[in-house]
């Protein structure tokens, strides 16, 4: 496509779809027309992909995820269509500023954090590897909330990403699927003696599919993401209209449409809200129906399901799919129970993303039974069969039965979704080597004893397209020049950079790129948040959801203890290496401790940033509303990546991978994928500190007392006392009492126990930074040795270990 045809397409779009011309167009008109012009260039490939995949009856990977944290679409679509320069030139030829137009896009924030972003990276890699795949999820009207700070405290505003419409989606209301809820179940016995269940639901909604293009990179393949939006059904309204109650009918519509209104903002600690279960069943039921209809609903076709589709359950959120498939097969298509169970077990696989007990979903039997009475019966029968089998294999072990049952009896009768997922799946995987081990040996140990072959690991990964190629054009060009462009599709090629770590000129150029990225980020931060940072400081970055286990408090105590020592005249601030500590973090709105910690970070920042004694050598920058768009600017600018969770708590982490790939050095614990990052980049190029997971276990079972660390470490005591003294709250000693007393008397995540080790690692880091050339060498090695963390590699592992779905390249 030439610049001229792009321009004329663009103008035509503007006129024919938006009804405006260049002179009268708004920024949104221009952005939409630009997006449409780009999309048009991918549609033929998309249609061709669908046709090819259908013709070959290829096995499809169906990724079921309640979250997709996609990030902005325009640049990624341009990259995939190879039209970046054309689009830029075309806009310039029309007197338009491309970057300004691109900034009109509101990113679809349909996820909370790592889990949702992982799903987005995975669909990108699936498309790039030519795997027939579809991502299924929910088109939330409101994605993750917009965070602001009011007097340093988090406030939440609804995210209205659809306010001006989205040019990237293709709605298909005519292909809607009805999803039913509630009511009751009647039973009869068939002529052949089988139980026949008839579910009479009491209400229903329509699931409207919205398709999104997922273009592969360096291939013609374009896959789909299908997100469902809830709408009231005709018949549902009609019933009420006919009864004459107009208001009730309108209310019913609102009720139905509620289902896809909002993403629940809890990351890792989901609340057991009824609407959440409705969301889960809503998208899963629609997706299964959609998939099965593609395969065919005759008995013969249904029997081929395991060859035609594999469903990957992204955590427990879509696990209601297991009883739903059983219901479809048994109740709707009259497949015998045992055969249906064999089919079901062979099409599902389950990824567990956490070890935190509070993150393991359980649904009260009362609630699940009321919302989905037939599913509750099916779950009971699955459980009965499972327990019978268990009693045969492990006789006289009723404690084991109680531990493994899908139904928990105490404190409330409830369905353990992780157990249902494990029992109903072929494979269960964790998301990093350490996590998969802990999953096997701790959380699901009884299941791994029973079925050792069921458990496997697939270490997470990130897409190099978005997080290196697009986010870090400077580094990308440098790599291209050094080793060619193949790394974007085969990230293991980064290894070829290793010898260049010894090349002083390359190191200098690498340093220049980092510096330019810091300048670029400083400008973004100034414009976006009015925050000033100097690119000459170390950019020390901790960005992730605010959670106690991730230990933003540990980072903060480091800063406060430095400040405390300066106040006490313990050391000369002019000897400090200039440092900006950058935080980005949203707290779940109901997570009070997390919100206190945010307020404290901002309070400390306010005080130290304006204290002339520090002479600007130590600053905190905490831009509000950290999101994918900001990450893409921040990560390439980072010098230091803070990955400091308590060992055994962070399942994997994926931010850690993005930083290493962009040449930041990690300071971290032996947790999640940090373990693998350190092994690969080399221990000299990673700042390790902290207790190991077995040490954590030991310390906790011996009876951990955090106050002892406070008593015995003066620097730690100084920092905590300074917070407690009201130094960051205008003398108000009660302001951060909750945080302080939690640290002293509970400290569930051993912040105080790891403090000393962390401070030591920080001082090692600071000395290392003083030798810029040696630092650059380590940074280059981080890049060169992090190719393993491509999500393409993760997807290949899923294919080899779990999915066994061949690629279907287009001709
Ligand atoms: C995250 C994990 O905390 C993180 O370690 C991991 O890298 C990421 O998933 C991808 O595997 C999780 N996010 C959630 C979100 C919810 C529930 C559980 C988890 S685990 C809502």
User: Structure tokens of 190?
Assistant: 């068939």
Confidence at 237, pLDDT banded by 50, 70, 90: low
Query: 56-72+107-459+797-803 with 535-789: one CATH topology?
Result: yes
Mean pLDDT of 138-155: 98
CA–CA distance, 417 with 440 (Å, rounded to integer): 17
CA–CA distance, 112 with 595 (Å, rounded to integer): 16
Give the three-class secondary structure for 34: helix
Mean pLDDT of the chain: 97
Closest CA to 661 of 445, 494, 490, 420: 494
Mean pLDDT of 731-752: 98
C-beta of 119 in contact with ligand 1 (< 6 A)? no
- Output the DSSP codes for 215-254: EPSSSS-EEEEEEEEEEE-HHHHHHHHHTT-HHHHHHHHH
Question: pLDDT (tens digit, 9 = 90+) per residue, 196-214?
Answer: 999 999 999 999 999 999 9
What pLDDT, on the 0 to 100 scale, is given for residue 382?
98
C-beta of 114 in contact with ligand 1 (< 6 A)? yes
State percent of the chain over pLDDT 90.
95
> So what CATH class is 535-789?
alpha beta
> Catalytic residue at 654?
yes
Confidence at 647, pLDDT banded by 50, 70, 90: very high
With beta carbons less than 8 A apart as the criterion, state whether 242 and 222 touch: no
Question: pLDDT (tens digit, 9 = 90+) per residue, 179-192?
Answer: 999 999 999 998 88
What pLDDT, on the 0 to 100 scale, is given for residue 241?
62
> Catalytic residue at 658?
yes
With beta carbons less than 8 A apart as the criterion, state whether 68 and 137 touch: yes
C-beta of 270 in contact with ligand 1 (< 6 A)? yes
Mean pLDDT of 447-469: 98
What pLDDT, on the 0 to 100 scale, is given for residue 270?
78
Q: Cβ-count burial of 575 within 10 angstroms (0-12 exposed, 13-18 middle, 19+ buried)?
A: exposed
> Catalytic residue at 544?
yes
Closest CA to 620 of 612, 635, 610: 610
With beta carbons less than 8 A apart as the criterion, state whether 587 and 594 touch: yes
Closest CA to 619 of 627, 631, 611: 611
Q: Cβ-count burial of 572 within 10 angstroms (0-12 exposed, 13-18 middle, 19+ buried)?
A: exposed
Angle (CA) 668 669 671, round 5°:
115
Closest CA to 810 of 53, 192, 38: 53
DSSP letter assigned to residue 443: I
Question: pLDDT (tens digit, 9 = 90+) per residue, 544-603?
Answer: 999 999 999 999 999 999 999 999 999 899 999 999 999 999 999 999 999 999 999 999
Question: pLDDT (tens digit, 9 = 90+) per residue, 319-328?
Answer: 999 999 999 9
Catalytic residue, candidates 317, 327, 507, 544: 544
Mean pLDDT of 635-640: 99
How many angstroms separate the alpha carbon of residue 470 from the centre of ligand 1?
25
Mean pLDDT of 258-262: 97
C-beta of 265 in contact with ligand 1 (< 6 A)? no
C-beta of 315 in contact with ligand 1 (< 6 A)? yes
CA–CA distance, 254 with 14 (Å, rounded to integer): 34
Q: Cβ-count burial of 782 within 10 angstroms (0-12 exposed, 13-18 middle, 19+ buried)?
A: buried
CA–CA distance, 645 with 642 (Å, rounded to integer): 9
With beta carbons less than 8 A apart as the criterion, state whether 425 and 314 touch: no
Question: pLDDT (tens digit, 9 = 90+) per residue, 334-385?
Answer: 999 999 999 999 999 999 999 998 889 999 999 999 999 999 999 999 999 9
Per the rule left: phi > 0, alpha: psi between -120 and 50, beta: everything else, 773 is alpha
CA–CA distance, 221 with 268 (Å, rounded to integer): 33
Confidence at 486, pLDDT banded by 50, 70, 90: very high
What pLDDT, on the 0 to 100 scale, is given for residue 244?
75
Would the pTM of this model clear 0.90, i.e. be above it? Answer: yes
How many angstroms separate the alpha carbon of residue 652 from the centre of ligand 1?
8
State percent of the chain over pLDDT 70.
99
How many angstroms separate the alpha carbon of residue 151 from the centre of ligand 1?
30
Residue 240 has pLDDT above 80, yes or no: no
Residue 236 has pLDDT above 70, yes or no: no
Catalytic residue, candidates 658, 678, 777, 785: 658
Which of 115-124, 260-269, 495-504 has the least mean pLDDT?
Answer: 260-269
How many angstroms separate the alpha carbon of residue 269 from the centre of ligand 1?
9
ipTM of the complex: 0.99
The domain segmentation of the chain, as residue ranges, is 1-55+73-106, 56-72+107-459+797-803, 535-789
The domain covering 56-72+107-459+797-803 belongs, at the CATH homologous superfamily level, to Glycogen Phosphorylase B; (3.40.50.2000)
Minimal-distance CA residue to ligand 1 atom 14: 268
């Amino acid at each position: 496509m030439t610049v001229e045809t792009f321009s004329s397409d663009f103008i035509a779009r503007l006129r024919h779809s938006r009804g405006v011309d260049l002179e009268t167009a708004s920024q949104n008109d221009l952005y939409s027309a630009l997006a449409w012009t780009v999309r048009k260039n991918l549609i033929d490939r998309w249609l061709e992909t669908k046709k090819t995949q259908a013709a070959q009856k290829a096995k499809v990977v169906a990724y079921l995820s309640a979250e997709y944290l996609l990030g902005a679409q325009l640049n990624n679509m341009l990259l995939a269509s190879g039209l970046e320069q054309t689009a830029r030139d075309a806009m310039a030829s029309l007197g338009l500023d491309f970057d300004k137009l691109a900034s009109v896009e509101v990113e679809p924030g349909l996820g909370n954090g790592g889990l949702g972003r992982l799903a987005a990276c995975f669909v990108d890699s699936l498309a790039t590897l030519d795997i027939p795949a579809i991502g299924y999820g929910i088109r939330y009207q409101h994605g993750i909330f917009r965070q602001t700070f009011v007097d340093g405290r988090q406030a939440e505003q609804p995210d209205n990403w659809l306010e001006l419409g989205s040019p990237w989606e293709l709605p298909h209301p005519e292909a809607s699927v009805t999803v039913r809820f509630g009511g009751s179940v009647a039973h009869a016995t068939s002529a052949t003696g089988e139980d026949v269940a008839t579910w009479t639901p009491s209400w229903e909604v329509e699931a409207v599919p919205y398709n999104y293009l997922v273009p592969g990179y360096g291939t013609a393949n374009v896959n789909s993401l299908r997100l469902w939006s809830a709408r009231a059904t005709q018949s549902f309204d009609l019933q009420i209209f006919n009864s004459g109650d107009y208001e009730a009918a309108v209310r019913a519509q609102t009720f139905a449409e509620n289902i896809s209104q909002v993403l629940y903002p809890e990351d890792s600690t989901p609340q057991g809200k009824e609407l959440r279960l409705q969301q889960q069943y809503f998208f899963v039921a629609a997706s299964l129906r959609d998939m099965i209809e593609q395969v065919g609903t005759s008995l013969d076709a249904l029997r081929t399901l395991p060859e035609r589709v594999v469903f990957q359950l992204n955590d427990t959120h879509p696990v209601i799919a297991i009883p739903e498939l059983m219901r479809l097969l048994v109740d709707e298509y009259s497949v015998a129970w045992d055969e249906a169970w064999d089919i079901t077990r062979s099409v599902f696989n389950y990824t567990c993303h956490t070890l935190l007990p509070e993150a393991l979903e359980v649904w009260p039997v009362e609630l699940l039974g009321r919302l989905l009475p037939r599913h509750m019966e099916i779950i009971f029968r699955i459980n009965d069969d499972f327990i019978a089998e268990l009693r045969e294999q492990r006789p006289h072990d009723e404690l084991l039965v109680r531990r493994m049952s899908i139904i928990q009896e105490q404190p409330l009768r409830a369905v353990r979704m992780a157990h249902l997922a494990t029992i109903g799946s072929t494979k269960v995987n964790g998301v990093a080597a350490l996590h998969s081990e802990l999953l096997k040996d701790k959380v699901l140990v009884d299941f791994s004893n029973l079925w050792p072959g069921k458990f496997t690991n697939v270490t997470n990964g990130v897409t190099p397209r978005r997080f290196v190629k697009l986010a870090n054009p400077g580094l990308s060009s440098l790599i291209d020049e050094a080793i060619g462009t193949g790394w974007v599709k085969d990230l293991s090629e980064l290894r070829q950079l290793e010898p260049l770590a010894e090349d002083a000129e390359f190191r200098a150029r690498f340093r220049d790129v980092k510096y330019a990225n810091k300048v670029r980020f400083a400008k973004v931060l100034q414009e976006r948040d009015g925050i000033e940072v100097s690119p000459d400081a170390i950019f020390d970055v901790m960005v992730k959801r605010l959670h106690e286990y991730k230990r933003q408090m540990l980072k903060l105590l480091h800063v406060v203890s430095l400040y405390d020592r300066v106040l006490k005249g313990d050391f000369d601030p002019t000897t400090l290496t200039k440092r900006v500590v950058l935080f980005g973090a949203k707290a779940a709105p109901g997570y009070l401790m997390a919100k206190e910690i945010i307020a404290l970070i901002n309070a400390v920042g306010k005080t130290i940033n304006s204290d002339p004694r520090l002479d600007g050598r130590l600053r905190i920058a905490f831009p509000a509303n950290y999101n994918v768009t900001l990450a893409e600017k921040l990560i390439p600018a980072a010098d230091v990546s803070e990955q400091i969770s308590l060992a055994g708590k962070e399942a994997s982490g994926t931010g850690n991978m993005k930083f290493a790939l962009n040449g930041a050095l990690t300071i971290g614990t032996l947790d999640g994928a940090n373990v693998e990052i350190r092994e690969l980049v080399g221990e000299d190029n990673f700042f390790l500190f902290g207790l190991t997971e077995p040490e954590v276990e030991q310390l906790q079972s011996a009876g951990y007392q955090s106050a002892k660390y406070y008593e015995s470490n003066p620097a730690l005591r100084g920092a905590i006392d300074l917070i407690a003294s009201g130094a960051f709250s205008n003398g108000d000693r009660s302001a951060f009492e909750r945080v302080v007393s939690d640290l002293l008397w509970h400290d569930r995540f051993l912040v105080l126990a790891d403090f000393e080790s962390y401070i030591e690692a920080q001082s090692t880091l600071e000395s290392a930074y003083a030798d810029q050339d040696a630092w650059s060498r380590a940074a280059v090695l981080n890049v060169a040795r992090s190719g393993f963390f491509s999500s393409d590699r993760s997807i290949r592992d899923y294919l080899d270990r779990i999915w066994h779905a061949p690629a279907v390249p287009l001709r």
